[in-house]
Chain A
């Protein structure tokens, strides 16, 4: 069975601070994909990244960066110099070997205070 744990339910930071959102996953598959999605107050899910289990290179996209560590089954997400527009719920997710289902974590609500 797959499981995604986001232990941080809510985080508040002051604008321009860096913030890291934690994600720990469990799976028996050797081939899997990890995701991060952003859900702003409007409700739609915005895709941020998809990373396969064989690629442990860290990735940076603008102010966003992701740290994938297979040894600790973690896929953490860091926002550098946070902005008010970053305020949202962020979901980490995992897809199974057959890519048929996506299991979501419980989400971390990020509030960036001006």
Chain B
């Protein structure tokens, strides 16, 4: 099956630093990747949709300058949390959809737990 690798799985950083999270599709080309945020004991909230070679589409209320998304190739999308603050601490999950397949069929990474001190 399609495998999505997300790295790192956990990161702890100081307030004010930037953190980059990578999402890779290992055995398929992902035309679209999605970034979700999950607060403790809550649901997944879609942050943005990323298409290869174009700008990401952000959901309402998500700061695009805060959460930079780059989808430079068909197998890699990155999320950079810029100048992270404690309120950015959360679980971030990426997913990818296959070319030619409905975008709601998504393969998820294992998530990245971000803790900002």
A interface with B by C-beta (< 8 Å): 33, 35, 37, 42-45, 47, 50, 91, 95-96, 99-102, 104-107, 109
Contact = CB atoms under 8 A, between A and B. Distances in A.
A107 B110 contact: no
B44 interface: yes
Contact of B109 (A44, A100, A109): A44
Contacts of A35: 104
A104 B43 contact: yes
B103 A43 contact: no
B45 to A, nearest CB: 8
How many residues of B sit at the interface, in one of the four size bands?
20 to 34
Interface of B: 9, 41-46, 49, 91, 93, 95, 102-111, 113
Given A43-B91, A43-B113, A100-B49, A106 B104 contact: no
B110 A44 contact: yes
Contacts of B108: 37, 44-45, 47
